[in-house]
Chains A and B, each alone.
Chain A
Amino acid sequence: MLNIKAIENLEEISHLKQAYFTQSTAPLDGMWHFGFALMSAHFGFYEQQQLVGYCCINGEGYMLQFYLADDAKTDSKQLFTLIAEQNSAVIGEVKGAFVSTAEPHYLSLCVDQSSVLNVNALMYQQTKRSTESKKNDLQLKLAEPEQLSAFVEFAATNIGAPEQWLTGYFSNLISRKELFGYWHEGELLATGECRLFDEHQTEYADLGMIVGQSQRGKGIATQVLNWLVNCANKRGLTPICSTESGNLGAQKAIQRAGLVALNRIVQIDFNH
């Protein structure tokens, strides 16, 4: 007998999340698994009051994680099928899932239910460290708290994200000393992020970057990435990053910086 209940406090399932990340075959994407997943609704699977697994569903009805412990009595495919076919009144509507190829068990369950599958993003990681750090003309500077508004304005202009969200996002990165800027003659031309993980996959650093629209096509992206890769390597960390499947410019730059697209994030729509 299995019951599904909403999880109010994510600490209740921290041991299951730990197991989930341990099972993955590559580091998971920071934005999806430490940003979007944490904002999603979580549901616990209980066998006789014993927590044996969980899943999380984002605001649009897409599943982002699914985990059932190996020693659970419930069959994972049976449970997954029941949920995918909207049978749980607690969970409600499930349209599909976002899943990466680095989560093979979850991916298999999703593929069983799939009607449409689209590659959403490519997941990169450094596979071998270069023996010497790459030569770099370009230098990034750590962002200071008083530069927050400059960073917010830059990102709002160049990627169109809402300022309110950017303010929270960047001020957190600044306080963690994970945000950098490439300045030229007092103007911010590119930003770089080298984000560390507080839990799970702590041997990796997640890279991010924005190049100003007017500066694109000059090789700045590759140089910013090289700087960020060195930054991670100096701390003994392996850099990872991801980019949308349609962003060919970013893909070229990431490849030139020596990262390899080993995995994919796919969007799967369920067939019901």
Chain B
Amino acid sequence: MIHWLQAPKSTQIAKYVECYWLIEKTADSSAYQHPKLNPDPSAHLIISPEDQAYHYDLNPGIACGAGSHWLFPHKQTFELDHSNAFIHLGIKFKIGALYSLPNFSDDLLALDRVELVQDTSLFKQLGLNDSQLIDTARSNPDQCCAQLDTLLTPWLAACSEDQHSILTNKALQQLNSATISALGEQLYCSQRTLERSFQRVTGLTLKQCQSMNRLEEMLEYLYQREATDLDWVDIAFKFGFSDQPHLIRYLKKQLGFTPKTYEKERGLTIDAYGGISD
């Protein structure tokens, strides 16, 4: 398993792109074959060789196809099929970024979906050369990121902000530390206006987005520690999940009773997709 993760260098790109990431599983790897992909409020554009199949269990439903594809923000936990060798070069967008992008899809707020991107007008417009990008990603991550910055610049230069996205961006900056019911007042607007704008831009409610962020934060914390070092009462209160004993039970089961190697491999996969840095 090879992987890296880097933020864009260009500040213009960084406004909309969280990071670029690469994950590769070679044929001889014994990595866990069906890792789970945790809920993620961000969209990913995943660049893959055109003949490389993908398979997502969307819970419910499945999405399969081949080549590059969009992975839209998802509230569901997806299960991946990683039984064969694969390579993915990903572009992780910031939460709500798709709303500001020039129109590329019929449904801007698609949630819980995977969509083929190969042969679409966007793909051609961007001039993405998957095999060349992937080769560079393997050999020279810095150069690959610079290339992606360059490729994305004309597209993202055409982004536009409106009142909804401006308000949503302000809310996102405070969401992790704020009490949701106090957020409207902090941003000088009614709670109703804020909720509507936020939903319009991200497809999610403030509460959903906050929970997803906290879950990601909690998983990052969990993966950095040995299962025996975890105090679940501390974790539940630290990440605001003390009211969800079923979630704690679920995670404890996932982490507590699995061999160490499984955890590590499984963790890596989720690290890359979920954008957890280490």
Contacts and interface: CB of A to CB of B under 8 A. Distances in A.
Interface of A: 1-4, 74-75, 78-79, 81-83, 85, 87-90
B158 interface: no
Contacts of B249: 85
A81 B236 CA distance: 11
B237 A81 contact: no
B242 A90 contact: no
A83 B238 CA distance: 15
10 contacts: A2-B237, A4-B233, A74-B237, A75-B242, A75-B243, A78-B236, A78-B245, A82-B232, A85-B249, A90-B231
Nearest to A88: B233
Given A87-B236, A87-B248, A82 B242 contact: yes
Contact of A89 (B231, B238, B243, B248): B231
Interface of B: 230-234, 236-238, 242-243, 245, 248-249, 252
A86 to B, nearest CB: 8
Contact of A88 (B232, B238, B252): B232
B205 to A, nearest CB: 22
Contacts, number: 45
B234 to A, nearest CB: 6
A3 B234 CA distance: 6
B232 A1 contact: no
Nearest to A84: B245
A82 B245 CA distance: 7
Contacts of A1: 237-238
Given A2-B237, A74-B237, A75-B243, A82 B230 contact: no
B68 to A, nearest CB: 42
Contacts of A87: 231-233, 236, 248, 252
A164 B230 CA distance: 41
B238 A82 contact: no
Contacts of A78: 236, 242-243, 245
Contacts of A88: 231-233
Nearest to A91: B233
A227 B249 CA distance: 55
Given A4-B234, A88-B233, 6 more contacts: A1-B237, A4-B231, A78-B242, A82-B245, A87-B231, A87-B233
B137 to A, nearest CB: 40
Contacts of B231: 4, 87-90
Contacts of B232: 82, 87-89
Nearest to B231: A89
Contacts of B252: 87
A85 B232 CA distance: 10
Contacts of B242: 2, 74-75, 78-79, 82
B9 to A, nearest CB: 37
**Which of B230, B236, B238, B248 lies at the interface centre, i.e. has the most chain A CB atoms within 10 A of its CB?**
B236
Given A75-B242, A75-B243, A85 B237 contact: no
A203 B248 CA distance: 45
Nearest to B242: A78
Contact of B248 (A3, A74, A85): A85
A176 B43 CA distance: 75
Contact of A81 (B234, B238, B245): B245
A70 B243 CA distance: 18
Contacts of A83: 233
Nearest to B229: A89
A89 to B, nearest CB: 4
A87 B237 CA distance: 11
Given A81-B245, A82-B245, A89 B230 contact: yes
A83 B237 CA distance: 12
Contacts of A89: 230-233
Contacts of A2: 233, 237, 242
**Which of B237, B243, B248 lies at the interface centre, i.e. has the most chain A CB atoms within 10 A of its CB?**
B237
Contacts of B248: 82, 85, 87
Contacts of A79: 233, 242
Contacts of A82: 232-233, 236, 242, 245, 248
A2 B236 CA distance: 9
**Which of A4, A87, A88, A89 lies at the interface centre, i.e. has the most chain B CB atoms within 10 A of its CB?**
A87
Q: Which 10 A-B pairs give the minimum distances between C-beta atoms?
A: A87-B232, A89-B231, A88-B233, A78-B242, A2-B237, A82-B233, A87-B233, A81-B245, A1-B237, A78-B243
A79 B248 CA distance: 13
B84 to A, nearest CB: 38
B55 to A, nearest CB: 35
A88 B231 CA distance: 5
Nearest to A83: B233
A47 to B, nearest CB: 9
Nearest to B252: A87
A75 B244 CA distance: 12
Nearest to A90: B231
A260 B248 CA distance: 44
